[in-house]
Structure 1
Amino acid sequence: MEDKIKYEMEFPIHSSPSLLYQYIATPSGLSEWFADNVNSRGELFTFIWDDSEEKAKVLRKKSGELIKFRWLESEDDSFFEMKIVVDEITKDVSLMVTDFTEEDEMDEAKMLWENQISDLKHVLGSV
C-alpha cells in the first residue's frame, strides 16, 4: 500500500472562533455541514452519510482552537485536523484543514473539502 500524502488547505471564514469551533468539534455542529448525521460517545465519533457510516477517534482537542480525528478503518497514521487560525493583526479568522490522501486522488480530495467548507460557510451565514 502506498503512503498517503499529507496536504493542508486554508479557508478564510467570517465567523468568531468560538462559534466556528462549535461547528467543527461537536456532533450537532458537524452534522450541519460535514455529514448527514454525527453521533459521539466520548472520544468516538460516528459520521453518517446516506447509506455509509465511518467512525473516527478524537486524537487531540483544544477548546476554541482545533480538533484532530483519525478514521478507525485507516491502517496508517493518517488523520484529519481542523484548526482555527486568527491573524494577530487583522483578526481575520481562517480554518486550516490538514488531511491525507493517495497521490492520484489529491484533486478530488481537495475539491471535496472545498465543497464541505462552502456548506459550512453557508451554515455560518458567512458567504
Structure 2
Amino acid sequence: MSKEKFHIEFMMGNVSQNSLWRMISHPDGLSEWFADEISVDEESNQYIFTWNKDSESANVIFSRPLSAIRFHWLDDEDENSYFEFALYKVELTGDMTLEITDFAEPDEKSDAIILWETQVEEMKRRLGI
C-alpha cells in the first residue's frame, strides 16, 4: 500500500515570521513542540529527533530560509515521501499561516492529522498564540 500525501493548514495569527521559522527549522525551536531532543549534524544536514530515548534521523532535502523546510526520514523506504513546513503571510491581514505536508498510509492518515494538530497546538501555546 502506498502512502498518501496530505496538507494541513494552521492559522498562526500575527506571530513573527522569524519566530515561526525558528520553531520549524532550528533544533531549539523544534524541541519545544516536535520532539524531546534534537541534534543536528551540520555537515550532512541530518537532524536526529529523539522521543522517549527512541531516535529517528531525517535529512533536510529542501530549505528556503523564512519560507519552507522539507525533511525526509532516513528509514522511510518511500524515496518520494517527506514532511514539510511552509510559512505564508496572508496579504489582507498580515497573519501567518503554517502549512504542513506529510505522507501516511491511508488507514493511518486520520491519526497522523490528529498528531500534527496536537503538536501544532503545543507550538501555538509556546508562542503565546
Cα RMSD between the aligned structures?
Answer: 0.7
Partner of 1:54: 56
Identical-pair percentage: 38
Task: Measure, in 1, the Cα distance between the counterparts of 2:60 and 2:40.
Answer: 10
The two structures have a TM-score, normalised by structure 1, of: 0.96
* Structure 1 runs, 4 residues or longer, greater than 4 Å off: none
The equivalent of 1:10 in structure 2 is 9
The CA deviation at 1:125 is 0.7
Q: CA deviation at 1:51?
A: 2.6
| Structure 1 Cα separation of the partners of residues 90 and 32 of structure 2 | 26
**Counterparts in 2 of 1:27-66, with a 5 A limit?**
27-42=27-42, 43-66=45-68
- Per-residue CA deviation, residues 25-62 of structure 1 (Å, 9 max, x unaligned), is 00111001000000001210000000311000001111
Whole-angstrom distance in 1 between the partners of 2:107 and 2:93: 37
Is 1:100 aligned with 2:99?
Answer: no
Q: What is the alpha-carbon distance in structure 2 between the residues aligned to residue 118 and residue 89 of structure 1?
A: 24
Structure 1 unaligned runs (5+)?
A: none
Equivalent residue pairs, number: 125
- What's the TM-score, normalizing by structure 2? 0.95
